[in-house]
Structure 1
Amino acid sequence: MKERLNLDERLAAAAMNGMTTAVWAEVQPDKVAIYDPDGRTRTFGELNANANRIVRLLRQNGLQAGDAVALVCSNRAEFVEVVAATLRAGFRITPVNWHLTADEVAYIVNDCEAKAVFCEARIATCGPAVAQCPNVVVKLAIGGEIPGFLPYDEALAPLDGADIDDAVLGNAMMYTSGTTGRPKGVYRAQPVVALQALYSMRGYDHETSVQLCAGPAYHAAPLAFDVRAAMGAGCPLVFIDKWDSELVLKTIAERKVTHLHLVPIMFQRLLALPQEVKDRYDVSSVQYIVHGAAPCPPEVKLAMIEWFGPVLSEYYAGSEGGAGFTISSEEWLKKPGSVGKRPALLGSKILDEQGEECPTGVPGTIYHQLPPGGGFTYYKDEAKTQANRVGDYFTMGDVGYFDEDGYLFLTGRNAETIISGGVNIYPQEIDNELIKHDAVADSSTVGVPHDEWGEQVKAVILLKPGYQPSEELSQEILAFARANLPAFKVPRSIDFVTDLPRSEAGKIQRNKVRAPYWEGRKRQI
């Protein structure tokens, strides 16, 4: 017990200057820290040594605490090494979505003012993107060659891997998904210190826990709940390169995965597997599935709880942060559809279009209280920063309501609200019902032009395998909707599609679903 207390104290102190990984490297140097998709591994000792080498390399090239580093890399060990390095050297890291175009990558690298970039060779956009970034002074290529870049392994090999003795806690600046206009950096003047106590609260044990990262590590949620959690808790991190439902189950069974972060579309794809495939894999090792990023239809979440047990923990937040809504499986079963109770520490309120607080049960824009000191700003965009503020509260554009017990229910986003005949209709509520129909794999309800009402409700539906689009099925789904929704929320029509556009976080991009219906017309909202 005394040794455990001593370790906890050392970890808590190390979290203050970004050296948590160094503590784990001392405690368990030969334990595997990362399992890569291609079978490669990194021990905690190797991970920590490379983090120190990266710091020395960047310092040799003139980088100082506060300078920015961009990382364009898939799920692999080098991603974690760069994160570990920036955490201990005071650098500000921006992981970049490597699915973006070269121009989009270049915009983020330039906008975040990166002086160093780490790029994976297999990502074809990296070379052309960085060629547009004149302020980058250090360029490293991971896993292959990129003309004009230093090879990662060769550049690090001659450098000292011993712990640096002047660690400074680093920062991160994530970029919003940019559904309207260019993405913006979410900037915090002060780095966020990871609370070590959270890991024990989530059931981590460095001797037995195994973390799975099945989503893109460059996204805020997998970075926090998978990568940073494994680094802080001292447990192995198993990377999957690309979503494969059966591979996820196989990995859980073979690696005895205990912790993982998923999003609702991943739930749906796992649930859609044939029963004989699901029965093939033992998932009893799973102790904690954290999920968020997109609203989860209650029917889907209930099916996951029935399969995995009451191990799901939901959060509601964004890149900007949030008031800290969370809800356990047990609590959710009493309040199906909720994302948690009003937090005690930071306030949260629902405001109408006039800025007045909405009564219980009435949807409005959700506002979260900023922490002391102001929280965040959108990097180099004061106008956008102020546009989402009301006093010391900010909004991410989400719409929802509190029930009589103070539990929050999400109904959509302001930009997604359908206004038909002057009445606000929240599409997520409709989707949550439509997905209960046996034929519906997923749904994205949108508002389409209507000469009299302004907008009319249309459901754009993805069918489950084995079902074919037909007028008969359309009428059956509409009848199902009429039996479960108020008349004004029932879709007036249905379109069937073979795919629905999604962000890297798994959210349906409702604006892209809606756009074709509004071509040549101006949406009045």
Structure 2
Amino acid sequence: MPGSFNMSDYKQTCAEFTWEVPPSYNFARDVLDRWAADPDRLALWWVDDHGNEDKKTFRELSDAAQRFCNVLEAQGVGKGDVVVVILPRLVEWWIIHIACLRMGAVISPGTMQLTAKDIRFRLQAADGRCIITTNAVAPRVDEIYSECPTMTSRILIGGEREGWIDGHRALSEAHDRFPAADTAADDNAILYFTSGTTGYPKMTVHTHASYPIGHTVTGRYWLDLRPEDLHWNLSDTGWAKAAWSSFFGPWICGAAVFIHHSDRFDPKKTLQLLDQYPITTFCGAPTIYRMLVLEDLKAYRFAHLRHCVGAGEPLNPEVIDTWKEATGLTIRDGYGQTESVLLVGSFPCLEPRIGSMGKPSPGFDIQVIDDMGNILPPHKEGDIAVRVRPHRPVGLFKEYWRDPEKTAAVFRGDWYLTGDRAYRDEEGYLWFVGRADDVILSAGYRIGPFEVESALLEHEAVAESAVVSSPDEVRGEVVKAFVVLRPGFMPSDQLANELKEHVKEVTAPYKYPRLIEFIPSLPKTVSGKIRRVELRNREWKEHRNS
């Protein structure tokens, strides 16, 4: 990998880029301990809504993580064991991630919105050994804990609870040294659950190389980070984007991470923090920017801000223009997945094409291909694909754990298929067209229709349902459910609201259908499969014509 921390010439950087992966690699030892050699180097700057602040150096985080390694080891957690971490933006989230990497345990992050049913599925599917969370989630864990035979430990961050280890007390009493495990580069390191079109979420496995080394391109080239930067990423800790831009990307570059701990997103507060703190680089979902530009941007100063990026979907040109008028900065788009690092980006050295995803990341051969695996000419729509033969790039996931069929399904010949469609223009810029499947991406959340449909079917009034995306100006798209009722039930606003609340209780609340339409029957194929695509196309066509 090149030694510079940014990219001035796109073609030259891509031509010279090589992946360097040693047989043994441990991010805590090989990156964080190196930065910790300087005892004063800032790693993390944490604030909350009540005026509380906490700053941690790399040395302090390394010391705390070593203590937590000893806490986990005392609880029977060893190399290769899965540790489920469900925490908000607390400093402990970062400490625990470092600790797991250091000792070779497998981290499995989750959002605070997970229900007891969601947690049970994850613990059982992953053979979870330990779960770490707060008092807000602990009752849901207790509800299903006896059904998870591989679990040996529950650790609580903040407070005490019967049957749980007090994480703060255990950390304060633990020994302060723990040698880093000699993890192989292809050992499992991170386990994310990602929604698909059918069935429950897939277990996406990353290794000690695929994210810890692969995010070099994310941090150095797209986020354009330097050791003196203070980077703020707004992603929820339960999503892979937090690993991208709140952990690996910045710390590969020696930049400090800014963290705002809050129960909800507040655009005014966000702008106040950008004005108040020396934040130099900023990463947010398109939904965030759409909400920010509705505020009076002239009331704020952006004295330190030098670079802004967005990911998840293309941003509206008017939003980009409004933001640039206020800050002088163009929001640079980026594209990737839970299964990957940054694959395509509007890098700072490129002339931006508003609406384009940008160009392929260094180290990746990204093409638009047809059903036979042939590369398509410019302006021909096809599948976004990553070349994996003869050389597989580092920043791709290892597999869908314990599901060889789903793993095999995303490969076609020499290519890994992202599941998204695009076209390329004559200058090599990629333009996103849409997903090739039915997964809904709403305000940065990836939502599989199957889970919402399954939740709806648990209600006594629902005979059938089909869940699709519906366009939304702020969130990009929202979940819409088409519902066929059982005999004896009649459509009403009251019933629609009841179904929404029901879904919130059965599965994670962010998945609930914001729109419900009652219909007499669902369109189906001759084999009886629901044609979601027909409903989705109708929904988007009506929006375009309105």
Instruction: Check 1:327–1:17 CA distance in 2 against 1; reply closer, same or farther (3 A cut).
Output: closer
Q: Unmatched 5+ residue regions in structure 2?
A: 6-20, 440-467, 483-502, 505-509, 524-529, 534-546
The corresponding residue for 2:294 is 272
Q: TM-score, normalised by structure 1?
A: 0.73
Instruction: Check 1:353–1:31 CA distance in 2 against 1; reply closer, same or farther (3 A cut).
Output: closer
Q: Is the Cα–Cα contact under 8 Å of residues 120 and 126 in structure 1 kept in the other structure?
A: no
Distance across 2 between alignment mates of 1:326 and 1:392: 22
Q: TM-score, normalised by structure 2?
A: 0.70
Q: Is the Cα–Cα contact under 8 Å of residues 71 and 117 in structure 1 kept in the other structure?
A: yes
Instruction: Check 1:15–1:217 CA distance in 2 against 1; reply closer, same or farther (3 A cut).
Output: farther
Instruction: Check 1:270–1:330 CA distance in 2 against 1; reply closer, same or farther (3 A cut).
Output: farther
Distance across 2 between alignment mates of 1:343 and 1:210: 23
For residue 168 of structure 1, report the CA deviation from its aligned partner.
3.9
The corresponding residue for 1:147 is 162
Distance across 1 between alignment mates of 2:300 and 2:398: 43
The corresponding residue for 1:126 is 141
Out of 407, 423, 443, the residue aligned to residue 401 of structure 1 is 423
Q: Is the Cα–Cα contact under 8 Å of residues 127 and 147 in structure 1 kept in the other structure?
A: no
- The number of aligned residues is 437
Q: Is the Cα–Cα contact under 8 Å of residues 225 and 260 in structure 1 kept in the other structure?
A: no
SS in 1 for 2:44: strand
Paired amino acid for 1:240:
H
For residue 65 of structure 1, report the CA deviation from its aligned partner.
1.9
Instruction: Check 1:381–1:30 CA distance in 2 against 1; reply closer, same or farther (3 A cut).
Output: closer
The corresponding residue for 2:305 is 286
Instruction: Check 1:212–1:101 CA distance in 2 against 1; reply closer, same or farther (3 A cut).
Output: same
Distance across 1 between alignment mates of 2:116 and 2:303: 43
For residue 70 of structure 1, report the CA deviation from its aligned partner.
0.8
The corresponding residue for 2:381 is 363
Q: Is the Cα–Cα contact under 8 Å of residues 32 and 41 in structure 1 kept in the other structure?
A: no
Q: Is the Cα–Cα contact under 8 Å of residues 72 and 126 in structure 1 kept in the other structure?
A: no
Out of 406, 414, 430, the residue aligned to residue 392 of structure 1 is 414
Instruction: Check 1:268–1:62 CA distance in 2 against 1; reply closer, same or farther (3 A cut).
Output: same
Q: Is the Cα–Cα contact under 8 Å of residues 446 and 514 in structure 1 kept in the other structure?
A: yes
Instruction: Check 1:31–1:519 CA distance in 2 against 1; reply closer, same or farther (3 A cut).
Output: farther
Q: Is 1:159 the counterpart of 2:150 in the alignment?
A: no
Paired amino acid for 1:235:
A
SS in 1 for 2:28: coil
For residue 141 of structure 1, report the CA deviation from its aligned partner.
0.3
SS in 2 for 1:221: helix
For residue 340 of structure 1, report the CA deviation from its aligned partner.
1.5
Q: Is 1:261 the counterpart of 2:291 in the alignment?
A: no
Q: Is the Cα–Cα contact under 8 Å of residues 86 and 109 in structure 2 kept in the other structure?
A: yes
Q: Is 1:221 the counterpart of 2:221 in the alignment?
A: no
Instruction: Check 1:188–1:226 CA distance in 2 against 1; reply closer, same or farther (3 A cut).
Output: closer
Distance across 2 between alignment mates of 1:339 and 1:69: 35
SS in 2 for 1:325: strand
Paired amino acid for 1:237:
F
Out of 345, 348, 358, the residue aligned to residue 366 of structure 2 is 348
For residue 230 of structure 1, report the CA deviation from its aligned partner.
4.3
Q: Is the Cα–Cα contact under 8 Å of residues 350 and 365 in structure 1 kept in the other structure?
A: yes
Distance across 2 between alignment mates of 1:15 and 1:281: 44
Distance across 1 between alignment mates of 2:26 and 2:180: 14
The corresponding residue for 1:250 is 272
Instruction: Check 1:370–1:517 CA distance in 2 against 1; reply closer, same or farther (3 A cut).
Output: farther
Q: Is the Cα–Cα contact under 8 Å of residues 106 and 129 in structure 1 kept in the other structure?
A: yes
The RMSD of aligned alpha carbons is 3.7
The corresponding residue for 2:18 is none
Alignment map for 1:302-451 (pairs within 5 Å): 302-310=321-329, 312-321=331-340, 324-328=343-347, 331=350, 333=352, 335-342=353-360, 345-353=363-371, 357-370=375-388, 372=391, 375-415=397-437, 444=477
Instruction: Check 1:173–1:447 CA distance in 2 against 1; reply closer, same or farther (3 A cut).
Output: closer
- 1:26-84 deviations in whole A, cap 9, x for unaligned? 41358573414252525224322220011112223333222211101111101011011
The corresponding residue for 2:485 is none
Alignment map for 1:421-500 (pairs within 5 Å): 444=477
Paired amino acid for 2:236:
P
Worse overlay, 188-197 or 134-143: 188-197
Distance across 1 between alignment mates of 2:478 and 2:248: 35
Worse overlay, 169-178 or 350-359: 350-359
Q: Is the Cα–Cα contact under 8 Å of residues 481 and 513 in structure 2 kept in the other structure?
A: no
Instruction: Check 1:196–1:228 CA distance in 2 against 1; reply closer, same or farther (3 A cut).
Output: closer
Instruction: Check 1:442–1:231 CA distance in 2 against 1; reply closer, same or farther (3 A cut).
Output: closer
Q: Is the Cα–Cα contact under 8 Å of residues 215 and 342 in structure 2 kept in the other structure?
A: no
Q: Is the Cα–Cα contact under 8 Å of residues 36 and 77 in structure 1 kept in the other structure?
A: no
Instruction: Check 1:383–1:279 CA distance in 2 against 1; reply closer, same or farther (3 A cut).
Output: same
Distance across 1 between alignment mates of 2:47 and 2:480: 43
Q: Is the Cα–Cα contact under 8 Å of residues 202 and 400 in structure 2 kept in the other structure?
A: yes
Instruction: Check 1:443–1:63 CA distance in 2 against 1; reply closer, same or farther (3 A cut).
Output: closer
SS in 1 for 2:256: coil
Q: Unmatched 5+ residue regions in structure 1?
A: 6-11, 418-426, 450-500, 503-507
Instruction: Check 1:328–1:309 CA distance in 2 against 1; reply closer, same or farther (3 A cut).
Output: farther
SS in 1 for 2:64: helix
SS in 2 for 1:93: strand
Distance across 2 between alignment mates of 1:25 and 1:261: 25
For residue 129 of structure 1, report the CA deviation from its aligned partner.
4.4
Paired amino acid for 1:400:
A
Bigger relative contact order, structure 1 or 2 (CA pairs below 8 A, ≥6 apart): 2
Paired amino acid for 1:100:
L
For residue 102 of structure 1, report the CA deviation from its aligned partner.
0.9
